[in-house]
Amino acid sequence: MWDISPIDLAAVTWLVVCWFGYTVFAERRAPHGNLIGIMAVHREQWMMRMLARENRIVDTQIVIGAINNATFFASTSILILAGLFAVLGAPDEVLALVRDVPFAVKTTRGLWEIKVIAMMLVFVHGFFKFAWSMRQFNYCALLIGAAPPDTEPPESNRDYAMATARVASLAAKHLNHGMRSYYFGVAALVWFIHPWLMFPAALVVVLVMYRREFRSRTLVALRACAPRK
């Protein structure tokens, strides 16, 4: 059953290295001003402004919107996993279809099941990240509800605002990690066609994410309106 070839093993290893290597790189560079770092600054400013507002309905609505985003992707992950379970239960029919795909490499039933299980693990990882993000955004909403009244100067409660912003940033961080599961899930999808394709596919995913997080016009705009420390 475990008839995975060296090229298949190398392709999976490359995907994992690209995934976790980019995650470590992006988080270490966050303090220097990528999208993650800039948005953390904006969340700190948001929470300071929140303390100065009497009516905080807008703040809770922002958090609810973020919760809805995480809920949508968590639900979608479950649907994808259900589809993969169905594929895993009918390998012969699916293999017959894949054989008609141009350039698709011939594969055994055992290797096919390994590929499906690997895809399932990708989206299980994403589901847990989205679910944890939902919980953290709920905690953030609770902290907004428990925030000190606007009669107190925001500066006197700066530590509270920074802690609340930190919870919001952690929730966004895990939402971002869940989104990366989808990006690399697309790269892993080409494994069903040919293992060699995973090498350029994973590299393209890394380049796309790097471009958006470090070189995008959105980042330039966010830097321009970031508060000065």
pLDDT in tens, the chain (229 residues): 456 788 989 999 999 999 999 999 998 887 777 898 899 999 999 999 999 888 899 999 999 999 999 999 999 999 999 998 888 877 666 666 666 666 667 777 778 888 889 999 999 999 999 999 999 999 999 999 999 988 888 888 899 999 999 999 999 999 999 999 999 999 998 888 888 999 999 999 999 999 999 999 999 999 888 776 5
Ordered by start, the domain boundaries in the chain are 6-224
pLDDT number for residue 162: 95
115 CB-near residues (< 8 Å, 6+ apart): 107, 191, 192
pLDDT at site 78: 95
Determine contact, residues 140/47, Cβ cutoff 8 Å.
no
Output the CA angle 98-99-103, nearest 5 degrees: 90
Task: Read off the pTM.
Answer: 0.89
Q: Give 152's DSSP letter.
A: S
pLDDT score for 107: 74
| 10 burial level (CB within 10 Å; 0-12, 13-18, 19+) | middle
CB hemisphere CA count around 200 (13 angstroms): 3
pLDDT reported for residue 94 = 67
- CA–CA gap between residue 187 and residue 205 (Å, rounded): 7
State the virtual CA torsion across 165, 171, 172, 175 in degrees, nearest 10: 180
Nearest to 121 by CA among 147, 146, 85, 72: 85
